[in-house]
Chains A and B, each alone.
Chain A
């Protein structure tokens, strides 16, 4: 039985191997390990396409002119800009910049670097073309003064300047690395890029000269762990300190979140998001059951919104009342009353008024893949069955569902919208402007001059109070048209080891800054 001897010896050696791990205890307290599902893409503002992991790393390596103020992210504060003024026509922005700031390569930050960075992004990054093309001229008034002139008023511009694509890069480093800048990004941020290994990790080191003060951590390691259950095991075992819930397409199920909440070694940070998930109709379709407003209303009343939040999400999602989430500064409180209420009897009545026999409808309910979307789809399917509609769930991969949508080959689909900048414009214009009906991420709204004019006016009005009133009206107008049933807004959830302190979860988009984080 020599084999058994071998196994016994092997079992005895295993824990000895484990002792190597203890030697690193000191380094561990100063290091934050963040688990992410995939490699970041494009680690620099000139190519970043709002991909969440790369965006977050950019915001820790670079700084923007302005940033949203924690914890509610409704007010902008100066970052590399000390202060700014906007002209009455909303086209000219004058910035006063911070003095004495240095890039991580030792070169000085000044107005020329801002001009260089923004013009560079405008030239190289197609993702922000629509908004950056509004920049007519950037003038360096002095090393600490900068003037940006837009070709048309666009009040959301400051919000765009807070995005990773508008972060300020070191012109010297760009000249040095050229095409390889994304592999050697240099900014003014609290952490400097150290190394990246494909499918393995990205390592950032503290920038001791950071202008707001050196970060408390000495390094951040982003570990790439594609499998959700492995991420959970690593967190429970202490192999990683932070796991972000990438709420977009893959998510941890509600019961898992409950289990993690019960674990004393962990804490679960939650924040309201501006993400909206909805059941949407193909609003450009002129035939089919849902070209009839009453039929759309019927579906909106058939869904048990509170039941969905409790049953499927166990409190990890919030109610959405209309085209904007309740935490948006432009949210119209009246929407809480205007939003459709769960009333299956009314739904049946509306269907009858629309002249539709529920049993004659055989709906294909398209949805994304993943257990969470599956649960939502099943819940909606049951609600539809209650009013006599038979729906078949088709869970489709993300690219395939997008193709179906842009080509208009569906009646109803479950879908979501995540704004990439913090302004109502991000939801409203892309979602409901009829000229964008055949693009991705829209509600495929039919020609509607009244609504379109309102949307464009709200997009361009510089006076924020007037703008807010315009968005109030827009929300009511959209609600009247019932382009979909707004189901829920998932909370942004970050799982952390209990000894991680000082982390603030941003509401939109989900980007964490680690400057203030420490480990006990």
Chain B
């Protein structure tokens, strides 16, 4: 298993190199000059030229690339054109918020999606099945921004139960320890703050989890129904196993393998969804950071965040492969 993981990690290097080249070229193909954007309206041409020179934008693209790659080796992602701060620092500041949100969303999606899929598959065409199929169809097809707005209107504006946006109440500031606010709140004894952070987390998590939960529910239902028709299920039933054991130990276990693939793939899509969700909920994560950077033509930030997203994606697929091994002894043996 260890050698398998190491091999996969080595294979990561060429992938990341290709990502790097593509991103670097892409941001330079988009029309628009960062110096103009940065200085904003009212800047004179002299000011723009001076800034271009300061940012090395007057150098040939190849040279700009060379400087960038050289920097990456020492953990230097460059400096944000907008703030002048190191990109690596800015990403690290925002990463906890995104991890907090997306990991929680995956957990919620799994907890909600898989049982729904299983229950629907066990009782096909029941009332429960019809309702969950309809709800999950809506969940799959509804765009995140619409769902976000609807939830904000219901739970924040009308009922007043939850805050509209933000990560914690501005009146209950939480001291920075790890960057994960709920944890920091508890660590610093700010229970009110931690509670407020939990409240703030509910709506964005729901929006982000909805799509994954719905996809997962539909997917598990279908594979479960296939699996439940297999010979070994009939054998298990014939052995006199209780229905619960048949469903969970034999049926679900065999449906989980493809479900893990889906979770892995959709996790990446979810990170894309995080861009919108973070923007709508004023969530200070890297998705929104990237979105702002694209608007501002902040080249180093676009490159840095894309690399981080690519890295997260590749790492997820490695984790999925490892989970395969854990779930399926045949694959585990092949991994050696």
Query: Is there an interface contact between A397 and B36, defined as CB atoms closer than 8 Å?
Result: no
Which of B167-175, B218-226, B227-235, B246-254 interfaces with chain A?
B167-175
> Does B317 count as interface, using CB distance less than 8 angstroms?
no
Assembly CA distance A248 to B42 (angstroms):
12
> Does B316 count as interface, using CB distance less than 8 angstroms?
no
Number of B interface residues in the complex (CB < 8 A): 68
From B48, B171, B280, contact of A230 by CB (8 A): B280
Q: What band does the interface of chain A fall in when counting residues whose beta carbon is under 8 Å from B?
A: 35 or more
Query: Is there an interface contact between A441 and B41, defined as CB atoms closer than 8 Å?
Result: yes
If A3-B115, A199-B94 touch, whether A441 touches B42 (CB-CB below 8 Å) is yes
Query: Is there an interface contact between B83 and A39, defined as CB atoms closer than 8 Å?
Result: yes
Query: Is there an interface contact between B199 and A239, defined as CB atoms closer than 8 Å?
Result: no
From A33, A38, A127, A439, contact of B170 by CB (8 A): A33
> Does A418 count as interface, using CB distance less than 8 angstroms?
yes
Assembly CA distance A127 to B51 (angstroms):
10
> Does A175 count as interface, using CB distance less than 8 angstroms?
no
> Does B300 count as interface, using CB distance less than 8 angstroms?
no
> Does B281 count as interface, using CB distance less than 8 angstroms?
yes
Query: Is there an interface contact between B280 and A227, defined as CB atoms closer than 8 Å?
Result: yes
Query: Is there an interface contact between A223 and B292, defined as CB atoms closer than 8 Å?
Result: no
Which of A24-32, A79-87, A292-300 interfaces with chain B?
A24-32
> Does B306 count as interface, using CB distance less than 8 angstroms?
no
From A27, A28, A239, contact of B164 by CB (8 A): A239
Least Cβ–Cβ distance between B87 and chain A, in angstroms: 12
Note all chain B residues with C-beta closer than 8 A to A397: 32, 295
Query: Is there an interface contact between B192 and A20, defined as CB atoms closer than 8 Å?
Result: yes
> Does A198 count as interface, using CB distance less than 8 angstroms?
yes
Assembly CA distance A225 to B153 (angstroms):
17
Of residues 1 to 51 in B, which have CB atoms within 8 Å of A's CB atoms?
30-34, 36-48, 50-51
Query: Is there an interface contact between A199 and B199, defined as CB atoms closer than 8 Å?
Result: no
From A3, A224, A418, contact of B42 by CB (8 A): A418
Query: Is there an interface contact between B41 and A417, defined as CB atoms closer than 8 Å?
Result: yes
Query: Is there an interface contact between A126 and B51, defined as CB atoms closer than 8 Å?
Result: yes
What 1/0 mask marks residues of chain A from 211 to 231 whose CB sits below 8 Å from any chain B CB?
A: 000000000010111110110
If A227-B279, A426-B42 touch, whether A399 touches B34 (CB-CB below 8 Å) is yes
> Does A475 count as interface, using CB distance less than 8 angstroms?
no
Assembly CA distance A436 to B93 (angstroms):
42
Assembly CA distance A485 to B94 (angstroms):
45
Query: Is there an interface contact between B195 and A20, defined as CB atoms closer than 8 Å?
Result: yes
Of residues 256 to 288 in B, which have CB atoms within 8 Å of A's CB atoms?
279-282, 284-285, 288
Query: Is there an interface contact between B192 and A237, defined as CB atoms closer than 8 Å?
Result: no
Note all chain B residues with C-beta closer than 8 A to A406: 36, 45
Closest residue on chain B to residue A416 by CB atoms? B41
> Does A279 count as interface, using CB distance less than 8 angstroms?
no
Query: Is there an interface contact between B40 and A198, defined as CB atoms closer than 8 Å?
Result: no
Least Cβ–Cβ distance between B74 and chain A, in angstroms: 20
From A28, A38, A402, A416, contact of B171 by CB (8 A): A28
If A28-B171, A397-B295 touch, whether A441 touches B43 (CB-CB below 8 Å) is yes
Assembly CA distance A440 to B51 (angstroms):
14
Query: Is there an interface contact between B161 and A15, defined as CB atoms closer than 8 Å?
Result: yes
Query: Is there an interface contact between B282 and A127, defined as CB atoms closer than 8 Å?
Result: no
Query: Is there an interface contact between A224 and B90, defined as CB atoms closer than 8 Å?
Result: no
> Does A430 count as interface, using CB distance less than 8 angstroms?
yes
If A126-B50, A227-B280 touch, whether A200 touches B167 (CB-CB below 8 Å) is yes
Query: Is there an interface contact between B282 and A226, defined as CB atoms closer than 8 Å?
Result: yes
Note all chain A residues with C-beta closer than 8 A to B77: none
Query: Is there an interface contact between A199 and B288, defined as CB atoms closer than 8 Å?
Result: yes
If A399-B34, A400-B31, A403-B31 touch, whether A430 touches B284 (CB-CB below 8 Å) is no
> Does B152 count as interface, using CB distance less than 8 angstroms?
yes
Query: Is there an interface contact between B39 and A49, defined as CB atoms closer than 8 Å?
Result: yes
Query: Is there an interface contact between B292 and A226, defined as CB atoms closer than 8 Å?
Result: yes
Query: Is there an interface contact between A233 and B31, defined as CB atoms closer than 8 Å?
Result: no
Least Cβ–Cβ distance between A107 and chain B, in angstroms: 27
Note all chain A residues with C-beta closer than 8 A to B169: 20-21, 24
Query: Is there an interface contact between A24 and B41, defined as CB atoms closer than 8 Å?
Result: no
Closest residue on chain B to residue A397 by CB atoms? B32
Interface centre among B37, B40, B44 (most CB of A within 10 A): B40
> Does B189 count as interface, using CB distance less than 8 angstroms?
no
Least Cβ–Cβ distance between B303 and chain A, in angstroms: 17
> Does A41 count as interface, using CB distance less than 8 angstroms?
yes
Query: Is there an interface contact between B165 and A17, defined as CB atoms closer than 8 Å?
Result: no
Query: Is there an interface contact between B32 and A400, defined as CB atoms closer than 8 Å?
Result: yes
> Does A119 count as interface, using CB distance less than 8 angstroms?
no
Assembly CA distance A66 to B107 (angstroms):
58
What 1/0 mask marks residues of chain B from 144 to 186 whose CB sits below 8 Å from any chain A CB?
A: 0000010011011100111111110111110010000000000
> Does A259 count as interface, using CB distance less than 8 angstroms?
no
> Does A452 count as interface, using CB distance less than 8 angstroms?
no
If A127-B43, A397-B295 touch, whether A233 touches B161 (CB-CB below 8 Å) is no
Query: Is there an interface contact between B41 and A129, defined as CB atoms closer than 8 Å?
Result: no
Note all chain A residues with C-beta closer than 8 A to B79: none
Of residues 31 to 61 in A, which have CB atoms within 8 Å of B's CB atoms?
31, 33, 38-39, 41-42, 47, 49-51
From B30, B90, B165, contact of A225 by CB (8 A): B165
Note all chain B residues with C-beta closer than 8 A to A39: 83
Assembly CA distance A420 to B44 (angstroms):
12
If A126-B51, A198-B94 touch, whether A234 touches B164 (CB-CB below 8 Å) is yes
**Which 6 pairs, one residue from A and one from B, show the smallest C-beta to C-beta distance?**
A399-B32, A439-B45, A199-B284, A24-B171, A400-B31, A400-B32
Q: Chain A: residues with CB nearer than 8 A to chain B?
A: 3, 14-15, 17-18, 20-21, 23-24, 27-28, 31, 33, 38-39, 41-42, 47, 49-51, 126-127, 129-130, 195, 197-201, 203, 221, 223-227, 229-230, 233-234, 236-237, 239, 248, 397-400, 402-404, 406, 416-420, 426, 430, 436, 438-441
- Some 21 contacts from A to B, beta carbons below 8 A apart, are A15-B161, A17-B162, A17-B198, A18-B160, A18-B162, A23-B192, A41-B83, A42-B84, A50-B42, A127-B43, A129-B47, A129-B50, A223-B170, A237-B164, A397-B32, A399-B34, A399-B37, A402-B37, A439-B46, A440-B44, A441-B43
